[in-house]
Structure 1
């Protein structure tokens, strides 16, 4: 159930449907999870000031159950996300922030129940 929420001051025309599809596929492969469980939400055209500058900026947040417990894994994921975003979009490394959210399965509702209950069945 990885959920990705990307906030950026890039204009919406810089974020194509293909970019979102490629991002979904990349994350599914990186986390070794089914892409059908993944959501990518991009909020472009935001007014974001970082370090006194309106230069292109991305805040990339990813939340998931049982994925972000190991620091070494998060470091690997972080590097992959930074490389990917700076390659695909006109944003410098120092203008990207990646935030990991560990979510307990009992805190996620899916299909009218909880993720923790679905895992038991």
Structure 2
């Protein structure tokens, strides 16, 4: 049950339903998870600064159980996600940052319990 959050200073109009579906497919494929388990949130129009510049930028946060827990895995995910983001958003790689968070099953609640018991 991965969680994908985008924080950006780009306008909300840049993130159509079509973009969200493409992002869902791209992140699911990169993480090896089914699309129906993905959870996405876009926070657009924020005041942001990356590398000393307020130019258009994105911070993508990816939290998941079992697939974001090593540098090797995250390097592979990053290599798959950067081309998608640069192409779809028209940003250079240096205007995108990806943060990976490893989750444990007891940290994700669903259906009145936690993933440990499902």
Q: TM > 0.5 between the two?
A: yes
- Specify the alignment match of 1:12 in structure 2: 12
Distance of 1:72 and 1:46 partners within structure 2? 31
Distance of 2:92 and 2:47 partners within structure 1? 17
Map Cα deviations across residues 39-98 of structure 1 (whole Å, 9 max, x no partner): 111111111122332111000000011111232221011111111100100211101100
Kindly report which structure 2 residues correspond to 1:1-121, keeping only aligned pairs within 5 A, or say none: 1-118=1-118
Give TM-score, length-normalised by structure 2: 0.94
Aligned length: 118
What RMSD in Å do the two structures reach over aligned CA positions?
1.1
Distance of 2:15 and 2:77 partners within structure 1? 21
Distance of 2:100 and 2:52 partners within structure 1? 24
Distance of 1:53 and 1:72 partners within structure 2? 29
Stretches of 4+ moved more than 4 A in 1? none
Secondary structure, counterpart of 1:28 in structure 2? helix
Which ranges of structure 2 fall in alignment gaps of 5 or more residues? none
The answer to whether the 8 Å contact 2:30/2:81 transfers is: no
Distance of 2:25 and 2:49 partners within structure 1? 30
